Amino acid sequence: MTKRQSQQLGTKKNKLLRYQSVLDYYHEIFNPDIPLTVLHSKYIYPRFFISRTTFYKILGTPVVKELKEIKAFEESQLSMF
C-alpha cells in the first residue's frame, strides 16, 4: 500500500467515524412524528454544522459495514508484517 492510499484510507475511516457519531445522536433524538427537516434544523445542525444534503447522505451510508471492511483490511495489512 502506498502512502497516498494509506492517507485516503485514514481519511475515509475518519469520515465514517464522524458519520457514526451523527447517526448515534440521530437515533437518540429520533421521533417518527417529527419530519427529518425539523430534526436537522433543530438538533443536528446546531451540534454538527452539516447541511441537510450531507445529513441525508449520512443516513444512506452503510457506516458499520464500511468500517468493518476497513478494519479487516487494516488487520490483513498488519498480518503481512
Instruction: Answer whether residue 8 is part of any domain.
Output: no
Residue with cell 498480518: 79
Query: CA 55 to CA 57: how far, in whole Å?
Result: 5
What pLDDT is stored for residue 81 in this prediction?
Answer: 62
pLDDT at 16: 97
> Residue 25: what pLDDT?
98
Q: How many domains does the chain have?
A: 1
**pLDDT reported for residue 80:** 67
Asked whether residue 60 is domain-assigned, the answer is yes
- Write out the residue range of the structural domain in which residue 39 sits: 13-79
pLDDT for res 77: 82
The C-alpha cell that represents 32 in the structure block: 417518527
Assigned domain for 28 exists: yes
Question: 3 lies in a domain?
Answer: no
Identify whether the C-beta of residue 17 lies closer than 8 Å to the C-beta of residue 31.
Answer: no
pLDDT per position in the chain (81 positions), as tens? 778 888 899 999 999 999 999 999 999 999 999 999 999 999 999 999 999 999 999 999 999 999 999 999 888 887 766
Specify the residue for cell string 441525508: 56
The DSSP output letter for 33 is T
Domain-embedded: residue 5: no
